[in-house]
Structures are given as structure tokens and as C-alpha cells.
Amino acid sequence: MKKLMLFVWEGHCPDYSDGIAFAIAANEKDARALVEKKHGYSGDHIEWGTLTTYPLNVPIAFAISGGG
């Protein structure tokens, strides 16, 4: 079995505020494909944001507050 990682894009598809996207996959290509499939979009027009990867063998948490 391939080693899986957590891929997190902060600032994903910004509009009024930044979005976030994440996927658990073996590589970035597969992770992007999972996000694209989930949201039904693909192509070069996607503003992915900043990517950070994390191994799945350590605890991790995220919190992003809403704007307004």
C-alpha cells in the first residue's frame, strides 16, 4: 500500500474570503484530482492557494474562523 499524506491548500479559490481544500492521497497529482472530482471542476483556472503536506502518523488540527 502507498504511503498516504494529508494535502492542505489554504487560500483555495478565494472569493469574499479564502477557502480551504484538503485531500488524503499518495501524491499531489492524486490529491488535486480528488478535490476536483469532489467539487466538479478542473482546469488551469483553479486558484489552489498555498500547499502544505503532512504525514498521517502525527496528530494535527486546523481551525479557520469565518469572516464578517
- State the burial class of residue 58 (Cβ atoms within 10 Å of its Cβ: 0-12, 13-18, 19+): exposed
This prediction has a pTM of 0.85
Residues sharing a CB contact under 8 Å with residue 40, sequence separation 6 or more, in sequence order = none
Q: 8 forms bridges with which residues in the sheet? A: 22, 52
- The model's pLDDT over 2-47, given as tens digits with 9 standing for 90+, comes to 899 999 999 888 877 788 999 999 999 999 999 999 988 877 788 8
Q: Which helix (H) or strand (E) holds 50?
A: strand 50-55
| Confidence (pLDDT) at 43 | 72
Predicted pLDDT at 44: 74
Q: Where are the domains of the chain?
A: 5-55
Q: Residue 52 corresponds to which cell in the numbers above?
A: 502544505
Q: How far apart are CA 2 and CA 50, in angstroms?
A: 24
